[in-house]
Amino acid sequence: MIVFVVNCGSSSIKYQLFDMTDESVLARGLLERVGQSGSVLHHRSDETTHEIEVDAPNHTVGLKIILDTLVDPKIGVLKNIEEIEGVGHRVVHGGEQIRESTLIDDNVIKVIKDNASLAPLHNPPNLAGIEAAMSALSNVPQVAVFDTAFLATLPPRAYRYAVPRQWYEKYRVRRYGFHGTSHRYVTLRAAEILGKSVEEVNLITAHLGNGCSMTAVAGGKAIDHSMGLTPLEGLVMGTRSGDIDPAVIFYMARTAGMSLDEIDTTLNKKSGLLGLSGVSNDMRDCIEAAEKGNTDAALAMEVFSYRVAKYIGAYFAILPGCDAIIMTGGIGENSLPIRLRICQLLSNIGVIPDEKRNEEAIRKVGLITADDSKIPVWIIPTNEELMIARDTRDVVEQMAVK
């Protein structure tokens, strides 16, 4: 089965085309600057990346350009677009209504629209991608895979905030969580690696990329998570603050005269590693600057690692057991000093890093702790696109059975 996976952002379309017989990637790419001048398609097939300047005034035209490229006689990989048997869409927010990957119908579209106010930067472009794909591939089943779905199992004590009940009932203020597809992928892989069934695995999974989040997984199900109503809560991220005292917001409004919009932008786009280091939102740049003696960059790395360790400690305390800590995402998969530092900070709960193993496990599955570490720490590269492709295949196959 050929499955096309689409991830639409406000000005971009990322895609991968899978042959699900062996889960191989036939082509992948990114269309940038959708709706702006100077759109560029980066299309990779046959181990070559082709850069093509195109005119993509909106997602519908953008998707058509990508589909045409997939059947292009020179750089395409399909003879006919009808070879695509399922389209999987990444959708950020499914709210409380959707708990698993779902065939897209009018009701699912309504849920995506209903939750747009909770994910204003993501759900509208996700929906634009769905509408574009539905018009270009009208006979092909379209499946929505929600970032929130894996976190729908959080119990009320983890998802409710201690604010007036009406805020939850009327305005749906609660913890939803994000990156669920990544946490689910590494949970399934971890169960395989540890030789356990998913239902019996207890884990702490840390997705450390530009955005960072952590999930406590008990019996294969998410029971707590660090991101909240929005992705701003929790760990230190590239440009997001993560946890702060909410009173900082009133204080900065009243004392520094900042508007709510300015504070919103500052906490989401100018904080985190960027805000602390004054150097960059990119961990590589922070590490490089710290090595050259920049103390602000060194502090950014320490605050980042300390926050991760603190959350791991909290999740260790609430889980029924912990078979492993899993790190993934750009920083988790690559950033040796951060991984090492996090492990060192966890010595009180018996984590013992192994520096040689840490150096070996780059962008691949690997154990980075010593054999006598009380909790093993594993690096597992994430693959959200493959998870979306598998879910799409499963939903399409179930349709055929019915």
Nearer to ligand ADP, 125 or 209 (CB): 209
**100 is a site residue for ligand ADP (CB under 6 A):** no
**129 is a site residue for ligand ADP (CB under 6 A):** no
Distances (CA, A) of 63 to 66, 69, 131: 5, 10, 10
Under rule CB under 6 A, how many of the chain's residues touch ligand ADP? 12
**283 is a site residue for ligand ADP (CB under 6 A):** yes
Of 334, 357, 365, 370, which one interacts with ligand ADP (CB under 6 A)? 334
Please, are residues 75 and 41 in contact by the beta-carbon 8 Å criterion?
no
- The residue annotated as part of the active site, out of 22, 147, 243, 282, is 147
Nearer to ligand ADP, 304 or 315 (CB): 304
Of 210, 265, 266, 268, which one interacts with ligand ADP (CB under 6 A)? 210
Scanning residues 150 to 209, which ones bind ligand ADP (CB under 6 A)?
A: 209
Q: What is the distance between the terminal CA atoms of the chain, rounded to a whole angstrom? A: 18
Nearer to ligand ADP, 95 or 272 (CB): 272
Q: How far apart are CA 262 and CA 257, in angstroms?
A: 10
The alpha carbon of 371 is separated from its chain's Cα centroid by a whole number of angstroms, namely 30
The piece of 42-50, 138-146, 219-227, 330-338 that touches ligand ADP (CB under 6 A) is 330-338
Of 76, 329, 376, 381, which one interacts with ligand ADP (CB under 6 A)? 329
Helix (H, G, I), strand (E, B) or coil at 128: helix
The piece of 34-42, 86-94, 251-259, 326-334 that touches ligand ADP (CB under 6 A) is 326-334
Of 238, 242, 275, 376, which one interacts with ligand ADP (CB under 6 A)? 238
The question of whether 147 is a catalytic residue gets the answer yes
**342 is a site residue for ligand ADP (CB under 6 A):** no
Nearer to ligand ADP, 220 or 330 (CB): 330
Name the token pair of 255. Answer: 């004392």
Nearer to ligand ADP, 258 or 336 (CB): 336
Non-local CB neighbours of 308 within 8 Å, separated by 6+ positions: 206, 208, 212, 214, 235, 342
**335 is a site residue for ligand ADP (CB under 6 A):** yes
Please, are residues 178 and 211 in contact by the beta-carbon 8 Å criterion?
yes
Of 330, 353, 376, 381, which one interacts with ligand ADP (CB under 6 A)? 330
Of 192, 262, 282, 288, which one interacts with ligand ADP (CB under 6 A)? 282
Please, are residues 145 and 387 in contact by the beta-carbon 8 Å criterion?
yes
Q: Which of 376, 352, 350, 351 is nearest to 365 (CA)?
A: 376
Minimal CB distance residue for ligand ADP:
330
Q: How far apart are CA 84 and CA 399, in angstroms?
A: 16
Q: How far apart are CA 139 and CA 392, in angstroms?
A: 15
**284 is a site residue for ligand ADP (CB under 6 A):** yes
Q: Which of 396, 52, 7 is nearest to 16 (CA)?
A: 7
Nearer to ligand ADP, 118 or 283 (CB): 283
Please, are residues 201 and 187 in contact by the beta-carbon 8 Å criterion?
yes
Please, are residues 72 and 26 in contact by the beta-carbon 8 Å criterion?
no
Nearer to ligand ADP, 214 or 396 (CB): 214
- How buried is 87 (Cβ within 10 angstroms: 0-12 exposed, 13-18 middle, 19+ buried)? buried
Non-local CB neighbours of 90 within 8 Å, separated by 6+ positions: 5, 6, 7, 8, 126, 145, 147, 181, 384, 388
In whole angstroms, the minimum distance from the beta carbon of 212 to ligand ADP comes to: 8
**140 is a site residue for ligand ADP (CB under 6 A):** no
Of 140, 236, 331, 396, which one interacts with ligand ADP (CB under 6 A)? 331
Among all residues, which ones are annotated catalytic? 147
Q: What residues make contact with ligand ADP under the rule CB under 6 A?
A: 209-211, 238, 282-284, 329-331, 334-335
